[in-house]
Amino acid sequence: MTEATLKRTKEIKSRIESRQAKIGIIGMGYVGLPLALLFSEERFAITGFDIDERKVETLNRGGSYIVRIPGTEIQIAQKSGFSATSDYSRISQMDVVIICVPTPLDEHHEPDLTYITGTVRSIAPYVHEGQLIILESTTYPGTTEEVVVPLLESGNAKGLCVARDMESPGFYVAFSPEREDPGNDSVARRDIPKVVGGCGPAALELASAAYSQIFNRTVPVSSPAAAEMTKLLENIYRCVNIALVNELKQLCMRMDIDLFEVIDAAKTKPFGFQPFYPGPGLGGHCIPIDPFYLSWKAKQFDFRTRFIELAGEVNVGMPYFVVENIIEAMNLQGKALRGSRILVLGLAYKRDIDDLRESPSLTIIELLQKRGAAVEYNDPYFPSVTQGRKYALNMTSTSLDKISEFDCVVIVTDHSQYDYEEIVAKAKLVVDTRNATKGIEAKNIVKC
């Protein structure tokens, strides 16, 4: 670094470490809002950006739309200067901008970077010298430098470029993957190490300084691409191991072996084994999606990720496996699926959260409806649901008082609020995809 460069870096870093830096977080969803609150706890002045005016209005009146974040936390943050806006021109007032927008797959299972590119184009005119831009959205290796940087440079009103070595006026860019685990209360957010990769040593230093204010440990890596790959590795590791136990579940059912018992026994080994559990399919924003991001990128290098693709196929097929087992269970009771009433318990993709993204419940409902069943659902976190995976559902949550009226109850999400003994006692048939009825002895239970 030159002397002038070093001075400028120190000034920016000093503003961060003295809590004087203004931080803007784009995307007030399951990642961005918790991150904003962490910074607010450390007395940073935070501005939350979102294109959804309803979210902006809710936050500014001190409310919350995420179950695990009470409105009181928003109100406390407001006392530290937190506010929300949809006005991207206010990006010009920020010292640090963190992008936390969705990165879904399109209908062809290829990366859809629309939210990233749209956001970057919107903020590019307002990016100023010395500003730090950090992407947190999960994506394929190379996105930060191959997509984000060119858009920021081409759209910048001042003609600034990324200051990789800070030898000329410019802004700094880094990537730091989000590591949110909704519903996990066993690890405090600030105890989750933060991986950071920068476009040059100065960007890495500044991004690490920013995150070290709210996380107990930062993990610097050599480049944004290395940080992007780190996130994919973490989730592909889970995807592959979940696919393994999902496949073993199907085998164990044919062999009349309880796989959950086997897993409980195996995890007593103090080394070399980590337990993963089967289920009705994968949900959430990361695990069902991330492997396909890497598979798509690998094709540009004439490489096929066969192992990863196979795991994805196994997991995608699980809702179909569940439906076939529902059909078989009903047949054994002399009932056809067509015309039967089915109650699906749980819409969220996992226990005790209000998140529908990629939920296998939606696929199972649609598959059952296609086969002629009259399907209803119950979920304490979703009084109603409009959109399914492929078409509109337009359903409202059914009272559990009506369980006895249904031909089959399917446990898809094992919320802790459910009284499973009472459910089994009232239901004609229970198909349990989560081992929620463990320890309950009853002839009307079918595990799958």
Q: Is 286 a catalytic residue?
A: yes
Tokens of 151: 């858009």
Q: What is the DSSP letter of 386?
A: E
Distance set, CA 339 to CA 226, 253, 374 (Å):
53, 27, 6
Which residue from 189, 161, 195 is spatially nearest to 176, judged by alpha carbons?
A: 195
341 neighbors 406 (Cβ within 8 angstroms): yes
The 10 Å Cβ neighbour count of residue 69 is 14
**Helical (H) or strand (E) element with 177:** none
Write the Ramachandran bin of 430: left for phi over 0, alpha for psi from -120 to 50, otherwise beta. beta
Residue whose C-alpha is closest to residue 198's, from 168, 169, 218: 218
The catalytic position among 100, 239, 252, 286 is 286
Cα distances from 322 to residues 9, 238, 317, in angstroms, run 56, 21, 9
| Residue carrying the six token digits 């399109």 | 106
In angstroms, the CA 303 to CA 314 distance is: 21
| Single-letter residue type at 182 | P
Sign of CA dihedral 298, 299, 305, 309: positive
Nearest to 368 by CA among 337, 333, 334: 337
How far the first Cα of the chain sits from its last, in Å, is 61
Q: What is the largest CA-CA distance in the chain?
A: 83
**Cα–chain center distance at 128:** 31
Strand ranges (E), 141-245: 161-162, 170-175, 194-198, 218-221
Catalytic residue set: 286
